[in-house]
C-alpha cells in the first residue's frame, strides 16, 4: 500500500495529552494522522486507518488507577472492531498512559480472557512521580516499532509517570514474556547494561527493568517512555553544549511507517 493512502488515528479522551506531538511526528514521516475523540468513533471508523495510537496523559483523571477507566471503555465499546483491527495485522501503540490503557483492556501482554488484565503498571517504587530522561536497552525486534533498531542498541527518551512499575502475577509469566521475545525495551545504564532494578536508572521498580512490551503477534506495543517527546533533535537536552541531530524516539515511528508502507 502506498503511504499516501494510509492514515493513523490518535485517540483522545478527557485528560489525555501529547496527541498533537504524535500527529506532528507521524506526519513528519509522511503518514497522514487524525486526532479523534472516542465519541467521534462510529461503526467502521477504525477500518479507515492502518495505525491506532493511545497517547500519554491522565485519561479520565486516572481515577481508580492509571488507565483503568479508559481501558474498560475500550473493551466494552471497541472490543469487536479493535479485535478485527489487530487480527488484520494493523498497528496499535500505547504510550505511557496509553500503555496502561492497553494493559487494563487486556490487549497487552495479549493473553487475557474477556478483557481481564494479566499484568499491571503499579505505583512507582519511589512513591513519587518520575519525570526525566532515561536510557533504554533494545531487547527484541519482535514488533514493527523496533524493526529499524538493532538489538542491544541504547536509546535516550523522557519519562513522565507515577504508575509505571510493570509487574506480572508470577515468575513463570515473566519467563514466558521473555521467551516469546515480547520484551522490547528495558531500562538501562548509560553504557547500555540493564539497570537490574537500580534506581534511578530503573525509575519505577519494574520487573526485569521492563519499559515496553508487545503482544505475541508483534503488532500491538506499549511503552512507558515518550518517543514523541524525543523525535526532533531540538527536543533533546543539550549535552556539553550540543544536541542530537535527531531524537532517539524517531526510530520507533520510523519502524511503524516502514511496516505500513509494505502492509
**Are the C-beta atoms of residues 212 and 89 closer than 8 Å to each other?**
no
* Distance between start and end Cα atoms, the chain: 6
Q: For residue 115, how far is the Cα from the chain centroid?
A: 19
Phi, psi (rounded to 5 degrees) for 233: -60, -35
| Helical (H) or strand (E) element with 97 | helix 97-104
| Residue 104 per-residue DSSP state | H
Name the residues annotated as catalytic. 96, 226, 228
Helix, strand, coil tally for the chain in percent (to 5):
35, 25, 40
93: β partners: 53, 221
CA 95/CA 53 separation, integer angstroms:
8
- The 10 Å Cβ neighbour count of residue 228 is 29
**Are the C-beta atoms of residues 95 and 56 closer than 8 Å to each other?**
yes
Q: Which cell goes with 27?
A: 506526519
Q: Which cell goes with 250?
A: 524517531
CA 175/CA 211 separation, integer angstroms:
16
Amino acid at each position: 500500500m502506498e503511504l499516501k493512502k494510509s492514515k493513523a488515528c490518535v485517540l483522545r479522551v478527557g485528560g489525555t495529552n501529547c496527541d498533537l506531538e504524535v500527529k506532528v511526528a507521524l506526519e513528519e514521516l509522511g503518514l497522514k494522522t487524525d486526532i479523534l475523540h472516542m465519541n467521534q468513533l462510529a461503526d467502521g471508523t477504525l477500518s479507515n486507518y492502518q495505525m491506532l495510537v493511545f497517547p500519554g496523559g491522565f485519561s479520565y483523571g486516572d481515577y481508580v488507577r492509571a488507565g483503568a477507566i479508559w481501558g474498560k471503555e475500550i473493551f466494552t465499546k471497541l472490543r469487536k472492531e479493535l479485535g478485527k483491527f489487530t487480527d488484520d495485522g494493523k498497528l496499535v501503540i500505547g504510550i505511557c498512559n496509553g500503555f496502561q490503557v492497553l494493559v487494563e483492556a487486556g490487549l497487552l501482554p495479549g493473553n487475557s480472557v474477556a478483557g481481564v488484565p494479566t499484568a499491571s503498571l503499579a505505583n512507582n517504587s519511589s512513591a513519587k512521580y518520575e519525570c526525566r530522561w532515561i536510557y533504554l536497552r533494545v531487547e527484541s525486534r519482535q514488533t514493527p516499532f523496533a524493526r529499524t533498531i538493532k538489538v542491544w542498541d541504547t536509546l535516550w527518551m523522557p519519562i513522565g509517570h507515577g504508575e509505571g512499575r510493570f509487574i506480572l502475577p508470577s515468575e513463570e509469566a515473566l519467563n514466558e514474556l521473555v521467551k516469546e521475545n515480547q520484551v522490547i525495551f528495558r531500562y538501562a545504564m548509560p553504557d547500555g547494561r540493564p539497570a537490574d532494578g537500580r534506581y534511578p536508572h530503573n525509575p519505577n521498580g519494574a520487573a526485569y527493568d521492563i519499559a515496553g512490551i508487545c503482544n505475541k503477534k508483534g503488532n500491538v506495543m506499549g511503552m512507558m517512555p515518550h518517543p514523541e517527546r524525543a523525535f526532533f533533535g531540538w527536543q533533546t537536552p543539550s549535552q556539553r553544549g550540543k544536541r542530537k541531530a535527531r531524537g532517539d524516539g524517531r526510530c520507533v515511528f520510523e519502524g511503524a511507517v516502514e511496516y505500513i508502507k509494505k502492509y
